[in-house]
Amino acid sequence: MTQYIPVTMCHDCGLLQQISHMPEDGAVQCCRCDATLRKRQRVEPAKSIEHTLALVITALVLLIISNVYPIIQVETEGHEIAATLFGCVKYLFSNEMEFLAGLIFLTTIGAPLIQLTGLLYILLPVNFNRMPPYYAPQIYHLVRIITSWSMLEVLMLGILVSVVKLSAMATVVPSIALWTLALLMIFIAAILSDLDTEMLWEKISPRIRAVELEKLKRGTQLTNCHNCHFLCTVSPAHESCCPRCNVTIHFRKPDSLNRCTALLIAASVLYIPANLLPVMVVTSFGKTEGDTIINGVMYLATSGDLPLAIILFIASIFVPTIKLIILSLLLITVHFKSEWRPRERTYLYRLTEFIGRWSMVDIFVDTLMAALIQIQGLMVIEVGVGAVAFGAVVVLTMLAAMAFDPRLIWDNMEKINE
Ligand SMILES: [Zn+2]
Ligand SMILES: [Zn+2]
């Protein structure tokens, strides 16, 4: 049976609170900032590991099929071109766009592969009541980090947008990997929602006891581990390690404001070439034209694809801009120790974490179009340098959001209330 730790600390506002009972359905939320503290599992705790293991094995098979077969095939003027995921990475690499090739590889192949093989390595022995495998906590830590970079749902949206755009210039035939990728996306979402992480930590680090609050000395600093959410004591004098997963823990993310500001400045600088330089270069009958992000959206809007234009506008223009604005607002208000609406500012922080990855849609669309439309003498599409700058903006804003510690918003409030 899963034992829910009765005392927990909110990861978004740092408030220590007791979970008196788990509701029959739904989740327990923080009473101060509404962050989800515990979720009731859909699957019975006794069957959670076995159920997740079955999902992981199926997802691995789907991942292999998705990488062996093409995603879509384009037929035009007697030419047939098929694009595989790895083919897109190879195309970018051979066109000297190593950064974009690496980014596409990480978000669509590398991250899901590490996530699934890591879970298989841990769950297989645990399911058969064997000892947890060597380095299980470290590997589970890696799985949790890499999960933020797995973007199959964004890739699926990118493929759908590409299919609509391509169907205006050629016959588009969906291939087997398109369907297996859609299934893989659903399986990975099910794994993330059904895996009882608290129980898995108990299985791979079984001898760890929860902190006994009543035995703590006055003034002891507590924090929850950023990796496994275990409540630990921290010493300001020296580095502490989480007793459950062994990662270095800090009372607050170290240098959060400085790191977030530096990443945000770098993202804002690259935001300019990302919007001014072409993300896609089309050569048709000897004439070469570059398309910036806004050109692409305007073209779709005027050619009758309004829903598609709206999707691309939100993902490529609205989301990166709003992320830069929100993160700047959070940094400025924390720097000036503002008391202004801490709960709403925490909501804004969670929004930036959630929406950031969706800007990758444009990169996926440009890469797929370029990998598929390579008909020499008729039409050739290439990925423009603007896409490299845009990819860097997406990565930098995601890293900036990860570097920001939302508990700093509430630390100011606590000092005021003291
Ligand atoms: Zn909270
Ligand atoms: Zn930990």
**pLDDT at res. 203:** 87
Considering the domain architecture, whether residues 110 and 172 belong to the same structural domain is answered as yes
Angle at 195 between CA 189 and CA 199, to 5 degrees: 160
Q: Of 203, 17, 55, which is closest to residue 128 (Cα–Cα)?
A: 203
Cα(178)–Cα(175) distance, rounded to whole angstroms? 6
CA of 138 to the centre of ligand 2 (A): 10
Residues 79 and 187 in one domain: yes
Does residue 216 carry a pLDDT above 70?
no
Lowest mean pLDDT among 12-26, 268-282, 335-349, 387-401: 12-26
Give the tens place of pLDDT for each residue, 362-415.
999 999 999 988 877 778 899 999 999 999 999 999 999 999 999 999 987 766
CA distance 314 to 358: 9
Q: Is the pLDDT of residue 311 over 80?
A: yes
How much is the ipTM here? 0.93
21 pLDDT exceeds 80?
A: no
Single residue among 198, 219, 249 that ends a domain in this structure: 249
Regarding whether 187 and 119 lie in a shared domain, the answer is yes
- Choosing from 249, 268, 284, the residue where a domain stops is 249
Instruction: Say if CB 262 and CB 418 are below 8 A apart.
Output: no
Which ligand sits closest to the CA of 10?
A: 1
Same domain for 137 and 7: no
- Which of 399, 63, 35 minimizes the C-alpha distance to 253? 399
> From ligand 2's centre to the CA of 88, what distance in Å?
37
Q: Which domain holds residue 391?
A: 253-418
The domain total for the chain is 3
48-57, 273-282, 303-312: the lowest-pLDDT one: 303-312
Q: Measured in angstroms, how far is the CA atom of residue 31 from the centroid of ligand 1?
A: 7
Pair 89, 225 in one domain: yes
pLDDT of residue 3: 47
Burial (0-12, 13-18, 19+ Cβ within 10 Å), 128: exposed
Helix (H), strand (E) at residue 382: strand 379-383
Please report which ligand is nearest the Cα atom of 241.
Answer: 2
Check whether residue 332 and residue 418 sit in a common domain.
yes
Distance 221 CA to ligand 1 centre (A): 17
- What value does the mean pLDDT of the chain take? 89
Centroid of ligand 2 to alpha carbon of 155 (angstroms)? 31
> CATH number, domain at 313?
1.20.140
207 and 59, same structural domain?
yes
Do 21 and 69 have their domain in common?
Answer: no
Handedness of CA 253, 254, 260, 261 (dihedral sign): positive
Both 295 and 166 in one domain: the answer is no
Q: Give the pLDDT confidence of 217-245 residue by residue, as tens digits.
A: 666 788 888 888 888 888 776 778 888 88
Q: Kindly give the distance from the C-alpha atom of residue 250 to the centroid of ligand 2, in angstroms, as a whole number.
A: 11
Which region, left, alpha or beta, applies to residue 381 given φ > 0 means left and ψ of -120 to 50 means alpha? beta
Query: Smallest Cα–Cα separation from 332: which of 412, 228, 237, 414?
Result: 412
Per the CB < 8 A criterion, the answer to whether 227 and 247 are in contact is yes
Residues 195 and 326 in one domain: no
Where a domain ends, among 249, 265, 295?
Answer: 249
Instruction: Let me know whether 147 and 279 are in one domain.
Output: no
Query: Are residue 205 and residue 345 in the same domain, yes or no?
Result: no
Ligand 2 midpoint to CA 260 (Å): 23
CB 380 within 8 A of CB 369: no
For the stretch 85-94, pLDDT in tens is: 999 999 999 9
User: What confidence score (pLDDT) does residue 418 get?
Assistant: 55
**pLDDT at residue 212 is higher than 70:** no
The separation between CA 123 and the C-alpha centre of its own chain, rounded to angstroms, equals: 23
Ligand 2: centre distance to CA 286 (Å): 59
